[in-house]
Amino acid sequence: MNLLVVNDDGIQAAGFAALVAALSKVADVYVCAPDSQRSAKSHSITLGQDVTIEKTQFPGAKAAYKISGTPADCTKIGLQFFAEMGAPIDMVYSGINMGSNLGRDTLYSGTIGAAAEAALSGIHAVAVSVDDHDAVHFDVAGELAAAAIEFVYGKLDPSVVVSINVPNLPREEIRGIKFVPLGDKRYYDDRFHLVEGNRYTLSGQPGGFHAPDEENDLAAAAANYAVITPLQMDLTDYESLEIIKEWSMHL
């Protein structure tokens, strides 16, 4: 089996190396990653400017590229280039992200965006994150990622992205696994701050989460569970669609 591993934290990220190491024990791994940090790029792709693509070496990978583009670019390039070299990709893994991708995070996440590009291409995709921007515990996340092959490949619809979020804790402190939907009650307390002249930068932190009894990814992660959530790419609200069909709009 050929696995493409991509990310948004950049090719030098510790979580990325941990994921490649874990997956290379069970499959042939191919790497395509940004040359530097590309977090919060969502599902953007590079248009109107060139992308540099450079062959490189990466421990545990059969072949590797680092690129100047976005995480979704990494997926597109990896699927194309490795197929052209005779290694068509069976599954795409994105991560291990330094920081969670829970609830509304998934709308901004370059980790999810790179996995979503695979799903839109009809390729099974798994996104993996550890809930800490200074994460050091990657072993459980890597094991869950490798185990997911058995449950995802050829069993789920390829349009589904499986998102795995793991606490940044030793194995013995993780309470188990929860299979839950996204939560939507965490907000971000962030603002643009003046740097100099007309230059501003966005910074802030997630606001508090205060609904521990809810059955969703936010609550489960806050209670130190590993969380697995299937994400669909169809954004249609079908209940509202039936309502708006009754609108008296005419041309």
The torsion angles phi and psi of 108, rounded to 5 degrees, stand at: -100, -25
> What is the reported pTM?
0.94
Instruction: Give pLDDT, residue 209.
Output: 59
Q: How far apart are CA 140 and CA 130, in angstroms?
A: 9
- Which domains occur in the chain, in start order? 2-184+211-244 (3.40.1210.10)
Encoding tokens for residue 15?
Answer: 């979580």
Instruction: Give pLDDT, residue 96.
Output: 98
Those residues of the chain that have pLDDT short of 70 are 185-187, 206-213
The enclosing H or E element of 180 equals: none
Instruction: Give pLDDT, residue 185.
Output: 67
Count other Cβ atoms within 10 Å, centred on residue 75. Answer: 29
The torsion angles phi and psi of 201, rounded to 5 degrees, stand at: -135, 145
Instruction: Give pLDDT, residue 237.
Output: 93
Instruction: Give pLDDT, residue 207.
Output: 63
* Count of residues in the chain: 251
Q: Which of 104, 110, 218, 92 is nearest to 165 (CA)?
A: 218
The torsion angles phi and psi of 233, rounded to 5 degrees, stand at: -90, -10
Q: How far apart are CA 121 and CA 125, in angstroms?
A: 10
**Maximum CA pair distance of the chain?**
63
Instruction: Give pLDDT, residue 205.
Output: 75
Encoding tokens for residue 31?
Answer: 């790497």
Q: Tell me, what DSSP letter sits at residue 64?
A: E
The region that residue 90 occupies, defined by phi over 0 for left and psi between -120 and 50 for alpha, beta otherwise, is alpha
- Burial of 91 from C-beta contacts in 10 A (0-12 / 13-18 / 19+): buried
Residue 200, beta-bridge partner list:
194
